[in-house]
Amino acid sequence: MATVHKIGRRKTSVARVYVKPGSGNITVNRKDAKEYFNTDVLVYKLNQPFLLTETAGQYDVTVNVFGGGITGQAEAIRLGISRALTEINAEYRLILKPEGLLTRDSRMVERKKPGQKKARKKFQFSKR
């Protein structure tokens, strides 16, 4: 099996994920995942597709990610890994889909409108 390349997105984060057979190393922007994402929750999010499909330690993952914050980046990587695993084995789709790992979360920040303070907040209204 050659390297599988998939893209995951979340908010303004874009993650290019490369999955190939290996020993379970996850590299994010040329750093180890535990070093790049300093909290255990974010590292768990990266490993979630592997834990659900029981393939932990079987694939090496290399990721280029940019944009957004660390939580959005972690969720973008998770989506990319999930998409790559479904391309490797179509049966993984039946496991990952009910958990919501193959769904692109399309929620974005609403834009600021002119004549307003923020997207929905208005300037104070004075009747008199």
**Tens-digit pLDDT profile for residues 86-116:** 999 999 999 999 999 999 999 999 999 999 9
Distance (Å, rounded) from C-alpha 14 to C-alpha 57?
Answer: 24
- In contact, 92 and 53? CB cutoff 8 Å: yes
- Binned at pLDDT 50, 70 and 90, residue 27 comes out as very high
CA distances (Å), origin 23, targets 13, 51, 75: 27, 14, 22
What residue ranges define each of the domains in the chain, with the CATH number in brackets? 4-97 (3.30.230.10)
Q: What is the reported pLDDT for 23?
A: 92
The pTM of this model reads: 0.91
End-to-end CA distance of the chain: 73
pLDDT of residue 1: 72
pLDDT of 105: 93
How much of the chain exceeds pLDDT 70, in percent?
A: 100
**Long-range CB contacts for residues 32-40, cutoff 8 Å, separation at least 24:** 37/70, 37/74
Residue type for position 41: V
